[in-house]
Amino acid sequence: MNHGGQMSHGGQLNHGGLMSRGLTPSQTVGPFLAIGLPWADGPFVVSPDTPGSIVIEGRVLDGAGQPVPDALVETWQADPDGRFDHPDDPRGPAREAGSFRGFGRSETNPDGSYRIVTLRPGPLPCPGGETEAPHVDVSFFARGLLDRVVTRIYFPDEAEANAADPVLASIADPGRKATLIAADEADGRLRFDIRLQGDGETVFFDV
Amino acid sequence: MTANDQRDDRGVRCRDLVLPRYVSAAGVHPPLDTPAYQSSRLRAPGQPLVPLPQQLTEITGPLLGPERVTAADADLTAGHSGEPLGERIIVSGRVLDSDGRPVPDTLIEIWQANASGRYAHQVDDHPAPLDPNFTGAGRCVTDSLGRYQFVTIKPGAYPWRNHYNAWRPAHIHFSLFGRAFTQRLVTQMYFPADPLFALDPIFNSIPGPQARSRLIATFDIELTQPDWALGYNWDIVLRGRTATVFETEAR
């Protein structure tokens, strides 16, 4: 077979005989992401009047401790039963369709703060038989970041589940591990600050 | 091969859970630590990234689309009292995964400067005119074959303060979800033969000329509409899946 025409685009055949294409590289969101990315309903993974809804909020700080005002925090998580409304979760969604988006998006304010309204996720099974503690995946985008950075929010009152979590277990330094665990605030809110660089730098993942 | 049938005290069922796996993006994206891009200096993490296994949260993602978009959202020249100034263009292409499979029904969001190189944003103080007929934000959802199309205005180059006499090549910002957290991508589309490419630290942060070239659209006379608009074609490639992961190796 002659794949010459397609090969000229830089692709190559993979093991399955399909054309393997080069991935599109990332670029920064730049300083003007607010034109295109904020949604009025972005912070609301669930409607705030949903029973059991919680607020996760925090500030994003740079290596000099200054707030990062031109940035976007996105969250993705399981529902309270540990399920996803997605074809690749073989267990399927447990909740009523449309009541839980799983996804949150909050631009940061001039003081670097963001806020998400959601439900607590359930624990998740892994193919290896382990169980992941309840967590929220975070994509963070900002001027100055040429690719998103990824982190996870874990919950402070899940000590036992957190201790058994394979991802937390992969981080040896207790101080680093602690950057992934939200803090309880007055009135039931959870605080998760993101420090991009320097003292107390948040753990970021390669996914 | 042992089937997992474990439950914890909250009823997590693990039996026969097999997850897809997405190919690595290693070496494709720019290094976060790119000192030539001044804004990265206080924002790029200093510690090495920790490997995150692809588990349920990573191989799923928000399937947002039609409910967030109207047909008018794909035309950035519409929605104002008059026509924006500048060169009207059609930007069209496909969203594919790295095996060449279309990524259907996925939300694309774009934003850009106007024809003068000015963003409709209070922080942009470039002394070029705002255009009352151009906001510069659009969105659409790919069709069943992964195709998308926008009508807009060719953005202008603009100065920034990264270094003396620094100018960004003309570009359109693109945000894509794909169908999994692993596929999330924000990037920029550039225009062919821009003389600013060689001077731009953001464009040149991408390792290698071949990967950089994947961000440059192609002028397309077939897409160009007579007496109306020039056409640019740009395909976007997201991480595809590796071969089926069997249970014995699903770790």
Best of A20, A26, A201 to disrupt the B interface by mutation (most B CBs within 10 Å)? A26
The strand ranges marked E within A8-148 are 12-13, 19-20, 54-61, 71-77, 103-107, 113-118, 124-125, 131-132, 135-142
Question: For residue B249, what pLDDT band results from cuts at 50, 70 and 90?
Answer: very low
Cβ of A127 within 8 Å of Cβ of B14? The answer is yes
| Residue from the list B43, B109, B137 with its beta carbon closest to the beta carbon of A142 | B43
Are A55 and A43 in contact, with CB atoms under 8 Å apart?
no
Q: Which residues contact B195 (CB under 8 A, 6 or more apart)?
A: none
Compute the distance between CA of residue A160 and CA of residue B33 in angstroms, rounded to an integer: 36
- Let me know if B168 is a catalytic residue: yes
- Let me know if B119 is a catalytic residue: yes
Are A36 and B110 in contact, with CB atoms under 8 Å apart?
yes
CA angle B98, B99, B104 (to 5 degrees): 80
The per-residue pLDDT of chain A, averaged, comes to 91
Residue among B146, B99, B94, B238 at smallest CA distance from A19: B99
Question: Which one is catalytic: B37, B158, B190, B232?
Answer: B158
pLDDT in tens, B120-175: 999 999 999 999 999 999 999 999 999 999 999 999 999 999 999 999 999 999 99
What mean pLDDT do residues A25-47 have? Answer: 97
Residue A10: predicted pLDDT = 46
CB atoms within 10 A of CB B149: 15
Residue B45: predicted pLDDT = 98
What ipTM was estimated for this complex? Answer: 0.92
Question: For residue A32, what pLDDT band results from cuts at 50, 70 and 90?
Answer: very high
pLDDT in tens, A84-93: 999 999 887 7
Cβ of B50 within 8 Å of Cβ of A205? The answer is yes
Question: For residue B8, what pLDDT band results from cuts at 50, 70 and 90?
Answer: very low
What mean pLDDT do residues A23-38 have? Answer: 97
pLDDT in tens, B177-213: 999 999 999 999 999 999 999 999 999 999 999 999 9
* CATH domain B61-239 topology: Protocatechuate 3,4-Dioxygenase, subunit A (2.60.130)
CB atoms within 10 A of CB A3: 12
| Residue from the list A36, A147, A197 with its beta carbon closest to the beta carbon of B29 | A147
pLDDT at B15 > cutoff 70: no
- Chain A interface includes B42 (CB < 8 A): yes
Residue among A152, A37, A58, A44 at smallest CA distance from A114: A58
Cβ of A207 within 8 Å of Cβ of B31? The answer is no
Going by their DSSP bridges, the two strands B230-233 and B218-219 should be labelled as antiparallel
Question: For residue B66, what pLDDT band results from cuts at 50, 70 and 90?
Answer: confident
Domain positions in chain B are 61-239
What mean pLDDT do residues B94-118 have? Answer: 97
pLDDT at B6 > cutoff 70: no
Residue B20: predicted pLDDT = 93
Residue B73: predicted pLDDT = 97
The Cα of B148 is separated from the nearest Cα of chain A by a number of Å equal to 16
Task: Flag whether the pTM goes above 0.95.
Answer: no
Cβ of B173 within 8 Å of Cβ of A33? The answer is yes
Residue A67 burial by Cβ neighbours in a 10 Å radius (0-12, 13-18, 19+): middle
| Residue from the list B55, B111, B123 with its beta carbon closest to the beta carbon of A124 | B55
Measured between beta carbons, the chain B residues lying within 8 angstroms of A171 are 50
Compute the distance between CA of residue A120 and CA of residue B113 in angstroms, rounded to an integer: 39
Q: Which residues contact A3 (CB under 8 A, 6 or more apart)?
A: A11, A13, A19
Domains of chain A (ranges, CATH numbers)? 26-195 (2.60.130.10)
CB atoms within 10 A of CB B144: 8
pLDDT in tens, A153-167: 999 999 999 999 999
Phi, psi of B59 (to 5 degrees): -95, 0
pLDDT at B69 > cutoff 70: yes
pLDDT at A170 > cutoff 80: yes
Cβ of B52 within 8 Å of Cβ of A20? The answer is no
What mean pLDDT do residues B221-250 have? Answer: 84
| Residue from the list B8, B37, B250 with its beta carbon closest to the beta carbon of A131 | B8
